[in-house]
Structure 1
């Protein structure tokens, strides 16, 4: 018989984990320290936006597989598995603050009725799980399950993981987790706590380094008249690299997720007496991506006194999260350069966009583009459905289209009467 699971921490990671565990037949009790969050879920709503999440939560609650419990002791009492899914806070230097995990683990230990397995999926520095084990009652164990949350496709990523990484020093605890997740596809890697934690750091650091390498190659391509996107296609066709490799030049990574793990590896190397080189280099390249974008724009339009439309201001396509948003940072840079910014995002209503100097928010991309000398398409999900070239060309004929994802064919852009700039490609 599968264990009954208490999931603590109900934001993006916790809500997706809870709903998907319930979907595969696990009885789940959910709790959050914020009563407003538990009340919202209890009322049938979701405090975060993710495609299909609110519907799945409601479905699992109706089926009786997911229960909301506002009291921590009642949520964890008698449960053999307690799953920590807090979205670990980051400071302005991408350092993880794990205090909430330690405080919660201690609180759970204080009200537990017997030994249990503490499962951790929160984004934590290596060594965290072993420290958490030190506050648990005798006979309890810790297991780490590597999260693979990707905003916008989070349900699919949980249902169809590429790999399930489970770390524990107790084979029985690892087996409990594997049994809970037995219906999910994907290869299994079962290892010790530190190796599982390091796997997450390594995956994100590899992705971040790949993106920075692609962007540096793209800048070189633009400088010598080459096409960095053609180069990327050639790279992906090399079987040693692979068709899904992150080698396309563009804006870089945002939101703090990849930067968090690169920063952690940088600090870890220093702490253990090694000299970090790759992580700092990847971060340095990434920090310069908006500068590269502004240089490309400034070569073609005068920013001071002009207007620029920024389409897609959330952290990434398919998300309404604004923290660490490259769109908002770009808007601030454009304002500092003397431009007026027209901002639009399909998932962020104009009334919800935080007020900022020199920035006007719109609920329609073509209204945002009207009167602008340049239109920056920041998100890959906007083209071609939400931003049609024929309509854009009719609104701002002759404007500069800054295509950050190489989403539009150059011939189509010219046919719409627009000029075209793509990061990683020499200006036509």
Structure 2
């Protein structure tokens, strides 16, 4: 079909971008090797938890052709490689699948314009572009789990890398970019690749600073939420600064960029101390629940029962990549733990002391402590008096301040949170 575009690789980013392009009025061919995934997507069902995604898939109808037939790529003039890059627990990237899809694109559609959106290290796009005659571009992806559809449809800006950093792109690509009505930044391949890493490293810096300062608040009976408001009013920091303390860095993307920066600094014989500091800070904050439990229960923790609300590393996603919940469950290997997550349904405990409960309330039966490890809105609506009727103890660890602290304390609970002194 004239003007038809393709998305190759249907992991999280690929599914979201295919849906977004269709929602913007484009005809999209979406290719995956996974036949069961393709069958689900044809029915408007996604294998990922992303607010608004399934509604878009059902609404765009025939504008997306989901298929395992990669021969369809030959009909497309503009092809996006949108495969998420898997990472190890330490953040090392596995680019083999991306390379395989790019080889497939070149074999099926050598004359097409190719846009790589998969996150790759500096130099990767230029190296691949040398092997082909047609135009190649790198477009920076800035999606966020749980907000992906919103950010995909209305990005703050679009960053495009090209061989010479020129600001002109082929007409079909420009027509698509115009549908987003946002600033466009053109630069070289390497600048765009490092721009993506730079965005994530600045987020890591903000997260690390917020976590460090929040911990100081915990030790000095201060409240970080009050200080956040002051910092957001400072124009040098800004109203949208990432100042919410958390349980370390998770999800895989930020860890990958820390690993990339670390490798680049090592290869340049430069100082890697800042990356090591960020990693230490992340690991330290991930163990906040463990340190609180040890302080509150000591050696008797092994005889306790703990209710764990949540598993995902953040709300509005089902991702467990480097989640603090998994570290906590390892620590609680000798403790009876009842787990409930409203979205992560396929989790199987690896420990006989741990079980999955059908509801948040049933997880609390006989519990000495409750830990809200993922701040799902579902939990904020639960009645503390109802929970108190089944719990044995009164300790609540609510690191992200998901619960109404006053209501829970009025119900007799001791509520502890990140960045808040006691």
Bin the TM-score by the shorter chain: over 0.9
Which of 349, 360, 372 is residue 355 of structure 1 equivalent to? 349
Contact kept, 8 Å, 1:269 with 1:276, in 2: the verdict is yes
Asked if 1:16 corresponds to 2:9, the answer is no
Q: Deviations over 1:159-187 (max 9, x none)?
A: 11112111112644376433212121332
Instruction: Indicate yes or no: 2:280 matched with 1:278.
Output: no
Classify the secondary structure of the residue corresponding to 2:301.
coil
Query: Is 1:157 equivalent to 2:151 in the alignment?
Result: yes
Aligned position for 2:212:
216
> Is 2:127 the partner of 1:131?
yes
Q: CA deviation at 1:8?
A: 0.6
Which residue of 105, 109, 115 corresponds with 1:108?
105
5+ residue gaps in structure 2?
none
**347, 365, 370: which is aligned to 1:370?**
365
> Matched residues in 1 for 2:81 and 2:94: separation?
14
Contact 2:160 2:192 in 1 (8 A): yes
SS in 2 for 1:29: strand
CA contact (8 A) 2:8 2:31 kept: yes
Change beyond 3 A, Cα 1:180–1:246: same
Return the offset for 1:325.
2.4
Say whether 1:203 aligns with 2:179.
no
Alignment-derived partner of residue 84 in structure 2: 87
Q: Distance in 2 between matches of 1:375 and 1:403?
A: 8
2:162 paired with 1:192: no
Q: Secondary structure of the residue that 2:159 maps to in structure 1?
A: strand
Change in Cα spacing, 1:250 to 1:316, as seen in structure 2 (3 Å) is closer
Q: Distance in 2 between matches of 1:381 and 1:186?
A: 31
Distance in structure 2 (CA, Å) of the matches to 1:230 and 1:52: 32
Structure-2 residue corresponding to 1:98: 95
Whether the aligned pair in 2 keeps the contact of 1:250 and 1:424 (CA below 8 Å) is no
2:114 counterpart residue number: 118
Measured at CA, do residues 184 and 361 of structure 1 come closer, stay the same or move farther in structure 2, by a change above 3 Å?
same
Q: Deviations over 1:256-278 (max 9, x none)?
A: 11111112111111112221232
State the distance in 1 between where 2:136 and 2:205 align.
31
Is the CA contact (8 Å cut-off) linking 1:2 and 1:180 kept in structure 2? no
Match of 1:4 in 2: 4
* Conserved 8 A contact 2:307-2:364: yes
Distance 1:367 1:174, change over 3 A: farther
Q: Distance in 1 between matches of 2:207 and 2:348?
A: 29
Match of residue 313 from structure 1: 311
Distance (whole Å) between structure 1 residues aligned to residue 2 and residue 249 of structure 2: 39
**Which residue among 286, 293, 314 is the counterpart of 1:290?**
286
Question: Tell me, what secondary structure is at the counterpart of 2:332?
Answer: helix
Aligned to 1:227: 223
Deviates more, 1:245-254 or 1:4-13: 245-254
Distance 1:3 1:283, change over 3 A: farther
Q: 1:45 to 1:305 in 2, by over 3 A?
A: same
Correspondence 1:424 to 2:408: no
Q: Which residue of 1 aligns with 2:141?
A: 147
- Aligned residues of 1:3 and 1:180 also touching (Cα < 8 A): no
Any residues of structure 2 matched to 1:167-178 within 5 Å, and which? Answer: 167-169=161-163, 171=166, 172-173=168-169, 176-178=172-174
Separation (CA, whole Å) in 1 of partners of 2:275 and 2:221? 29
Aligned pairs, how many?
Answer: 417
Distance 2:344 2:404 in 1: 27
Using the TM superposition, give the Cα deviation of residue 383 of structure 1 relative to its aligned residue in structure 2, in angstroms: 6.0
| Cα separation, partners in 2 of 1:217 and 1:398, compared to 1, 3 Å | same
CA RMSD of aligned residues (A): 2.1
TM-score, normalised via structure 2 length:
0.93
Structure 1 residues 59 and 327: alpha-carbon distance in aligned structure 2, compared to 1, 3 A threshold: same
- With structure 1 as the length reference, what TM-score do the two structures score? 0.91
What is the CA deviation profile of residues 211-238 of structure 1, one whole-angstrom value per residue up to 9, with x for unaligned ones?
1111111222222332233222322222
- What is the aligned partner in structure 1 of residue 178 from structure 2? 182
Among 77, 81, 105, which residue is 2:74 paired with? 77
Q: Is the 8 A contact 2:250 2:321 kept in 1?
A: no
Contact 1:163 1:189 in 2 (8 A): yes
d(CA) in 1 for partners of 2:5, 2:275: 37
